[in-house]
Chains A and B, each alone.
Chain A
Amino acid sequence: MARFGHRGMLFWTGLFAVTWALSTWSFQLYKALDARWIIRFPAQYELPLDDRISDFLDWLVESANFYLFTFKDLTRAIAATIEWPYQVLRDLLIEGFQRGLGDQAVQIAPPLSWIAVIVTAMAIGHYARDWRLAALVGACFAYLAVFGQWQSAMITLASVLIAVPIGAAGGLALGIAAYRAPWFERLLRPVLDLMQTVPVFAYLVPILILFGFGPVAALVATVIYAMPPMVRVTTVALRGVPPEVIEAGRMAGCTRSQMMWKVLVPSAVPTLMVGVNQVIMLTLNMVIIASMIGAGGLGFDVLASLRKLDIGGGIEAGLAIVVMAIALDRASQAFARRGVRHPPTGNVLQRHPWAGTVVLVIGGTLILGRIVPAVQTYPEALTITTGPFWSDAMEWINVNFFDAFEAAKTVVLTWVLLPVKQFFGGIPWGWGIVATGLMAWRVGGWRLGLLAALLTAFIAASGLWAKAMVTVYLCGVSVVIATLVGIPLGILAAERPRAGRVILGLMDTLQTLPSFVYLIPVVMLFRVGDFSAMIAVILYALAPAVRYAAHGIGDVPEPLLEAGRMAGCTRAQLLWRIKLPLATPQLLLGLNQTIMLALSMLVITALVGTRDLGQEVYIALTKANAGQGIVAGLGVAFIAIIADRIVNALAEGQRKRLGLA
């Protein structure tokens, strides 16, 4: 605690006291001085950025011309190249291949039968790891058939199968370019930062304007959302190739392209597969959001049910997404860990047992399906609908526990949420800029202070101050609670291996759930409002706090613990005196991740009625106002960037002090 010595303590209490005083009396101050600008940014100085962006987009679509082709031609070309393979996949999985148009259409071949798809999925699972994975993947896909989600699930699968290769290949290409050319990386890094922090809703509007409503627009949005981690993973993976391996390649006389494709990329494959896994998970995460601009499938089912308040339908479709996410996640993780194996020997069938089986099953079901329809399409009579069950269960909970939930909600609202909301809401924008700048300066030097102050000033000057403060308050409360719950859980996981397996396994599963899914039960139980938003955000953002805490505590070097034990530390002393102080950099990294996840979830909770920047973005989406959406989205991104830089500076300082840097 040396950092917060006497003077440090004075600085932080002083800052808080001034902020609190200004927050409490800002309204009186404005009345007394008759200066309305104190609490509201003067309208005539507001930046007209949103209008400019909207005008620019209009210009792009209406009249932009690159001599040989117009901008519209470009977007159409992109749309066509995505549309074509997507349609082929849809034919393959859902509609079947047809000749002719409209009424004259004749089906040449039916889509793949449900049995064929399940067998293919199992084959991939077995190839990636073993029979257990094959069984898991097969069970997941069988679930989709039995519970009547097959059609929607195949639509979703088709868009995943298009978005993932584009995202992975594009990310790999950009990552390689960044690895080769340092200037390109310097250019790319801030763009990636923004792409990962600007909420998805913000760029849905421009995509909608450029590509029109439909699956292509949804795919474009999905790829933009899912690609950045692949770029980062690629550069990290290539940098992680041992220098001696690169030198060995050079001494063997590799040309530049031989070096890339025969040495660097193959050596980096295990790490690259982690990136592909990320792309898959983010793609699934986007499934529901993308259905707002025209992706069909499970996402659309969830969204439609939420809008109709059809509890059962929403949970059913949501569960189907979860099941699919689990199957794809486990399979792609298994690929990442697979490594090279010795190829089997023998004849063609012995060498490719799974490919052979898959071809046989596809052919077999194709022929058999003509005679027995149940082979082609899972019979409707045998599907199980769980919708009513979920609706009844929710109703039962609400009837029996309504009072308890209501009481808990009221207590938290009155004693936590409202006071904090008042505190943040009262801060005058001018002081907000100064205070943010001072905080950042204190932890990270004057450059960081200046950056933080400028970014805050942008938010104020865009006329978004009040909504931004709602975002900060909701995010702040959720992060504090998530940390208070998450760190003890993480410590427990590190200290007791058996509990740890359960806790970390649970966190793994929580992280595979698409963010949207969290909203469903929360809305059912607590209806709309800040409290529901907070619960959803906490659930979504809990995982990194737990994981980093478990990691940080578990990674404390054994000799230090032995030294502690020999000095006669009790278990508690060992934890408080040795493990926790040494784990602080990791804990701070966890905090950083928690904040980032909280902010991204917060935007989605706009759907359950928060009045923050997320709502601003969402309104812009419904009005198709690109400028408004982007500016509000930048606001969220800037809050994320300020928080990220400050927490990172704290972690860095802590690492230096512990001599770990």
Chain B
Amino acid sequence: MTKPVILDCRNVWKLYGPHADGFLGANPAPDPEALREAGLIGAVRDVSVQIHQGEIFVIMGLSGSGKSTLVRCLSRLVEPTAGQIRFEGKDLLAASESELIEIRRKKMGMVFQQFALLPHLTVLENTAFPLEVQGVGRAAREARAREVIELVGLGGREGYYPRELSGGQQQRVGIARSLAVEPELWFLDEPFSALDPLIRREMQDEFLRLQNILHKTIVFITHDFDEAIRLADRIAVMKDGAIEQVATPEELVLRPATEYVAEFTRHVGRAKVIRAASLAAPLTGDSFAGDLPHDAVVESFAAQVEAADLPHRVIRDGEAIGQVDRRAVIDVLVGRR
């Protein structure tokens, strides 16, 4: 990664329970045993992640794994017990209440699992709300709100109240609201988990479409591994408050760092994750059926390679780095590798 780090989080802890603050002072790096003995719950344990500009960083974990607490530490909705968080080079944990308000007003946006729309405001007013609290005039904020409402595909429904919308539409409003201030850092806390599967898929596509236009820096929380590999540039897998592994989806599948991650990735459709570069074998001949980009996933070229008698070349930066033949693709599809 060459892009600059936007959010840098080092050794962050969040403990719940009696005298949590003092405990970490005395024991800088307690193990789970020690925490249990002290009657503390380690919601976030010693987490360090760097989030780069323009990437979709997914935090994946089952319920109770601490992912929601972690994202709230990153936005300082929850005060971490210990650790460092730097946002655009500035110490976020040292920011005063008024500085924090300023940062949230201008630079951060967040989308919530249960949408968290204000029931007494219309779609337009909900979307304009972050601008309203900043003191932006009615005409300016409503013009901006209309733009984002159009962007998320809700044009024409500005006058509706949240209760008059479906779940998917409500979350579009949540997304519009979080985008109204043009945030640099965009948090999404399980935004699609409350929606049914068909709508969820549609919203994921919509989200990718938006990101193609906007190129935000995104922290995305989910408990759904399929969702994670679909959307993520990088994934952090969390368990019991700690991060098991941070890697690209392909690395997670090919080289799981722990038994837990391996268990998770075992049943993933590997063709969706593994890319041409990983399959590339040394070039053996001169004649090829065609060329493949190095970062294409197997799923996208499987039929084409399987139908050809000759292997395909894998191209990176205009150079052939290897070849992929029918056998290699079938190995992936039947799970031999």
Contact = CB atoms under 8 A, between A and B. Distances in A.
B330 to A, nearest CB: 47
17 contacts: A245-B117, A245-B118, A248-B116, A248-B117, A251-B75, A251-B77, A251-B108, A252-B130, A252-B177, A253-B101, A253-B130, A255-B133, A263-B118, A266-B118, A267-B120, A339-B119, A340-B120
Interface of A: 242, 244-245, 247-248, 250-255, 258, 262-263, 266-267, 269, 339-340, 342
A252 B129 contact: yes
A336 to B, nearest CB: 14
B112 interface: yes
A248 B129 CA distance: 10
Contacts of A244: 112-116
Given A252-B130, A267-B119, A340 B161 contact: yes
B331 interface: no
A584 B315 CA distance: 73
A267 B126 CA distance: 12
A515 to B, nearest CB: 36
Interface centre among B72, B106, B112, B134 (most CB of A within 10 A): B112
Contacts of B120: 266-267, 269, 340
A252 B174 CA distance: 12
Nearest to A245: B116
Interface in B140-187: 159, 161, 163, 177-178, 187
B102 interface: yes
B159 A250 contact: no
B77 A247 contact: yes
B109 interface: yes
Contacts of A263: 118
A252 B116 contact: no
Contacts of B118: 245, 248, 263, 266-267
B75 A252 contact: no
Interface string B175-211: 0011000000001000000000000000000000000
Contact of A252 (B102, B104, B115): B104
6 tightest A-B contacts by CB?
A253-B105, A244-B116, A252-B130, A248-B116, A253-B104, A251-B110
Interface residues of B, number: 33
Interface in B248-278: none
Given A252-B130, A253-B105, 18 more contacts: A242-B116, A244-B112, A244-B114, A244-B115, A247-B77, A247-B110, A248-B110, A248-B116, A248-B177, A250-B77, A251-B75, A251-B108, A251-B109, A252-B129, A254-B101, A262-B132, A267-B119, A342-B159
B130 A247 contact: no
Given A251-B109, A253-B134, A254-B133, A242 B104 contact: no
Contact of B133 (A242, A252, A339, A340): A252
Contacts of B102: 253
A506 to B, nearest CB: 32
B101 A247 contact: no
A244 B130 CA distance: 15
A247 B108 CA distance: 13
Interface in B14-73: 72
A255 B105 CA distance: 11
A396 to B, nearest CB: 55
Contact of B116 (A247, A255, A262, A269): A247
B116 A250 contact: no
Contacts of A269: 120
Contacts of A247: 72, 77, 110, 112, 116
Nearest to B164: A342
Given A263-B118, A267-B118, A253 B112 contact: no
A29 B163 CA distance: 72
Name, among B72, B113, B129, the residue most crowded by chain A CB atoms within 10 Å (CB to CB).
B129
A253 B133 contact: yes
A263 B119 CA distance: 10
Nearest to A254: B133
A340 B122 CA distance: 9
Contacts of B115: 244
Given A267-B118, A269-B120, A250 B113 contact: no
Interface string B66-109: 00000010010100000000000000000000000111111011
A340 B119 contact: yes
Nearest to B161: A340
B159 to A, nearest CB: 7
Nearest to B135: A258
Contacts of A252: 104-105, 129-130, 133, 177
Contacts of B117: 245, 248
A254 B133 CA distance: 6
A250 B115 CA distance: 14
Contacts of B103: 253
Nearest to A252: B130
Nearest to B110: A251
Contacts of B119: 266-267, 339-340
A258 B159 CA distance: 23
A269 B134 CA distance: 24
A251 B77 CA distance: 8
Nearest to A247: B77
Contacts of B113: 244
B133 A258 contact: yes
Contacts of A242: 114, 116
Contacts of B72: 247
A182 B312 CA distance: 69
A56 B177 CA distance: 59
A262 B135 CA distance: 13
A259 to B, nearest CB: 9
A479 B320 CA distance: 90
Given A244-B112, A244-B116, A266-B118, A250 B133 contact: no
Given A253-B133, A262-B133, A248 B105 contact: no
Contacts of B130: 251-253
A266 to B, nearest CB: 5
